A and B are shown apart, each in its own frame.
Chain A
Amino acid sequence: MLTLQFVPYTEIEYLSSVGRIRKLLNITKENRIVLLQGRLRKEEETELIKATMEEIDKDFKGIELSVIYPDKKESDLFRKIKRNFVNMLLGDRQGLTIIGPASVVREIKKDPDKIQLLTEDDTKARKRRKS
């Protein structure tokens, strides 16, 4: 059974970068798939990868990570400035970040508009069908 946990941006808004990463990793380590409203800062994404690497052991194999983000190509300059200003003040709440434990989520395939979560169960089922 897959468990998805939605994390609204307000839950991480006032946390430090370390606090945000800790919170998201803790949920993932409980074998739940995180659906985070918005996205982490770019440096936080690399920090998340670093923290993940530090915690890999025989039970925790790492994470699968994907960010779905609305197309940045905005023709309206005013809207672009407004969005950047809001992001600066309130954080980037647009889009969706998906973080799954590697033991549950085998792969996240992403085309710009479509996202597919390939789970470990799917992989096993495919192998069974082939044999």
Chain B
Amino acid sequence: MANIFEKFIKTFFKNLFRRKKHIKLGLYGPPNAGKTTLANKICEDWLGESMGKVTNIPHETREIQIKEQISIKSGKKEISFNLVDTPGIATKIDYEDFMKFGLTATKAKKRAKEATKGVIDSIRWLDNMDTVVVVLDATKDPYSQVNITIIGNLEARKIPVLIVANKVDLKKAKIKKVQSAFPQYHVVGISAKYGNNIDEFYEGLFKVVG
């Protein structure tokens, strides 16, 4: 009886003083990997609203987007964070590539200019992050230097990383290739668009945040 009472008191005080984890969670990755689609999925799941516009034209997100006070729960665990959706990091931007999607030269040039600024902002924001989800397109080559540079910089800054291999709903997706490219990280294969494996993603997030 004394033991049960002691246990109850301990649990009561533990829960009373448990600090809710509140962090800045960044979504990083190359353009068109599905960062905003994942941001929308997280916001829809926990806030009931979406976060940003998604199109198939690269560099749709050209400014840092922040959604504050998102709390996710799993059993007794809870993390609260500000979600930071960042523009895709690239080493080259050619306005003519946007014209292939039907944009006029003027609009394409404007988009290219905004996209270059977006890449710079993404890199500047690296220092502000507490945890980062690196979103990679599982249908593309994971060994691209942009991926390696982003992850290497996060490692150097000792920022916890969860790698998401997105677009697993597509036949060309190769999760194992992403896993073998970054064997020291936890890699979760998901489809942010259709919600495949999204629970595994949240579990992975709990593990990384600690």
CB-based contact B153/A43 at 8 Å: yes
Chain B contact residues, CB within 8 Å of chain A: 89-94, 112, 116-117, 119-120, 123-124, 126, 141, 143-146, 148-149, 152-153, 155-156
The answer to the question of A63 belonging to the interface, with a C-beta cut-off of 8 Å to chain B, is: yes
- Do B119 and A112 touch (CB < 8 A)? no
The reply on A50 being an interface residue by CB < 8 A is yes
By a CB distance below 8 angstroms, the chain B residues around A56 are 92-93, 112, 116
Query: Is A38's CB within 8 Å of the partner chain B?
Result: no
Are B153 and A53 in contact, with the CB atoms below 8 A? no
- A46-B123, A111-B143 as given contacts; A62 in contact with B94, CB under 8 Å: yes
A31 within 8 A of B: no
Interface of chain B: mostly helix, strand, loop or mixed: helix
Chain A proximity of B31: nearest CB distance (Å): 12
Q: How far is the CA of A11 from the CA of B124 in the complex (A)?
A: 28
Name A's B-contacting residues (CB within 8 A): 42-43, 45-46, 49-50, 52-54, 56, 61-67, 102, 108-112
Residues in A neighbouring B92, C-beta threshold 8 A: 52, 56, 61-64, 102
Contact partners of A42 in chain B: CB under 8 A = 149, 152-153, 155-156
What A residues does B93 contact at CB under 8 A? Answer: 53, 56, 61-62
Q: Which of B145, B153, B155 contacts A65 (CB 8 A)?
A: B145
Contact of B90 among A54, A62, A109 (CB under 8 A): A62
B148 touches A49 (CB 8 A): no
B152 and A45 form a contact (CB under 8 A): yes
Contact A65 B91 (CB under 8 A): yes
Q: Which residues of A contact B90 (CB under 8 A)?
A: 62
Which chain A residues border B120 with CB–CB below 8 Å?
50, 53-54
A53-B152 in contact given A61-B93, A63-B92, A65-B91 (Cβ < 8 Å):
no
Given A53-B116, A108-B145, A109-B141, the answer on whether A46 and B153 have CB atoms closer than 8 Å is yes
Closest to A110 in B: B143
The contact sample of 10 A-B pairs, CB cut-off 8 A, is A45-B153, A46-B153, A50-B119, A61-B92, A62-B92, A62-B93, A65-B149, A67-B148, A108-B145, A112-B143
